[in-house]
Amino acid sequence: MTDLTPPARKPARPLFSSGPCAKPPGWSLEKLSAESLGRSHRSKVGKARLAHCIDLIRDVLDVPETHRIGIVPGSDTGAVEMAMWTMLGARPVTTIAWESFGEGWVTDAVKQLRIDPTVIRADYGELPDLGQVDWGHDVIFTWNGTTSGVRVPDGDWIAADREGLAIADATSAVFAQDIAWDKVDVLTFSWQKVLGGEGAHGVLILGPRAVERLENHTPAWPLPKVFRLTKGGKLIEGIFRGETINTPSMLAVEDAIFALEWGKSIGGLSAMKARANANAAALDAIVRERDWLGHLATDPATRSNTSVCLTVEGADTDFVKKFAALLEQHDAAYDIAGYRDAPPGLRVWCGATVDTADIEALGPWFDWAWATLRA
């Protein structure tokens, strides 16, 4: 008879959501600096803390001085939308989609901007043939497909002599994967993913070619105020010094600063990547030891080390919901059901803010939930 007794050992922090993600180890609300709270973001201290956040992003991510970094409204979605609405229309566009967020950018290009893009697609778990890309086009893609667990392997496929812009939604890639800054003209992310920060704010990073486009291209459509990055044909430089377009949450800013300072304290980008890789390896070991578990991303070369998506033998959406609910009821794992538009399965966040020991503790709990539901 199968033993249906729940395992004794639980993850110390059962926080495996793919966004908002786990806070950094040792985080507590009391540890956040409060000097900017209750102050205007236009005050001396407010602007200083926003600028400090931008400086930390540059430092930890090793963003070259040629690239500008801005804090913008609307999370990663807002940052991508801002890039699309302000920069597209100057030349043909290609959108690449292999999961739901990439499909969202396809929808915006087709139905909202109506620019009739070339669309290159692949099914969940697969990466499209990137050799099809025409770099005479502006190209929009996700560096890491958060809902499929498939990432681009590197930046080698991006043409060095490209005429179009490379626009990368990298919200679940930065701080965990190598970014080819010489190949990326626009990169976006949000604090709520790999930093475990709070939502509602995005980060927009512009290379020199993106700035040139902004200053020399006027879109054919109206631009909402929160999207406007230029004035009088020139980049609004203040946005990239912490003078945000709209009022930010300074509490969210302080939370992001805490996470960035934590990342710097453990050894910076290399240490954060190493933690994510160790977590992904620990989860892969669990998968390899169980014939009923698999990876949605079958090719290890393009498999995410952050949003790892798993298949469960014979599982439908109802089974996955019950599986995830069992683990949540026992405080063993929170929020591990796959994304609603993805094939039924599990999704476990393995970014740097998760501890490897907590990933390792999942194996027996997976076994217990599997056996319980099948019994």
- Which residues fall within 8 angstroms of residue 78, CB to CB, at 6 or more apart? 72, 202, 226
Of 343, 348, 287, 347, the residue nearest 316 (C-alpha): 343
Tokens of 120: 């290159």
- Alpha carbon distance 375, 219 (integer Å): 60
> 116: how many CB neighbours lie within 10 A of its CB?
10
Please report where in the chains the tokens 């190949």 appear, as a residue: 183
Contact 152, 161 (CB under 8 A): no
pLDDT tens digits, one per residue of 328-354:
999 999 999 999 999 999 999 999 999
Tokens of 287: 């998968």
> Confidence class of residue 4 from pLDDT cuts 50, 70 and 90?
confident
Contact 71, 53 (CB under 8 A): yes
pLDDT at 3 over 80: no
Question: Which uninterrupted H or E stretch holds 97?
Answer: strand 93-97
pLDDT tens digits, one per residue of 93-118:
999 999 999 999 999 999 999 999 99
pLDDT at 282 over 80: yes
Secondary structure letter of residue 14 according to DSSP: -
Of 145, 196, 153, the residue nearest 172 (C-alpha): 145
Contact 352, 263 (CB under 8 A): yes
Q: Which residue has the higher pLDDT, 2 or 353?
A: 353
- Alpha carbon distance 143, 238 (integer Å): 28
Domains identified in the chain and CATH numbers: 32-264 (3.40.640.10), 267-374 (3.90.1150.10)
pLDDT tens digits, one per residue of 19-59:
999 999 999 999 999 999 999 999 999 999 999 999 999 99
